[in-house]
Each structure stands twice: as structure tokens, then as C-alpha cells.
Amino acid sequence: MAPEDLLEEVSIPGVPVDVDWEDYEGWTTGTVRAGIEAIAKATDEDPKELLEAATDGTKREIIDKERTAEQVKQDLEKMSRKRLLPDEDP
């Protein structure tokens, strides 16, 4: 079974079954932990390892987004400086 299909079969206590997890706005620490437990049980994985993998993945995404934002900031500053400098006379 594909992971996406398996996740559709997982029920998380406190999360309505007719709502996509990504659209659900009522997440709490408790529902996240219940979700990890439910997914771990369905996939026969260790909940602690599953949480660690999810946390590590999220940290990597944040670091990548911060690097991208810093690069954009530097690019904008460079473009701004170029516009302020007068053209060289030939």
C-alpha cells in the first residue's frame, strides 16, 4: 500500500475524519502526539523515531527557507546598490 493511501486509513483521535490533515486548524500538542502514535501503529514503526524523523525534516526545511530568504535579501541589496551608483563615463 502506498504511504498516501495508508495515511488516508489512519484515524487520529480529536481530528474530524472528513477533514484533510493539512486543512485542519485545531492541531494541538496532544493531537499531534496522537497522530504520531496512530501513524506509527499503522506503519509498524517506533513513535519516537517517527517523531524524530518528522522533526529533523522540518528543521531542514526551515534552514533551507532561511537560506533562501537570506539570498533574496542579499540579491535585493545588491540590486539596490547597483541602481544607486552612477554609470561609468567611457
Predicted pLDDT at 71: 97
Q: Could you tell me the pTM of the whole model? A: 0.61
Predicted pLDDT at 7: 75
Residues 6+ apart with CB under 8 A from 15: 21, 24, 26, 27, 31, 35
pLDDT at 80 over 80: yes
Predicted pLDDT at 43: 86
Q: How confident is the model at residue 27 (pLDDT cuts 50, 70, 90)?
A: very high
Structure letter (DSSP) for residue 19: S
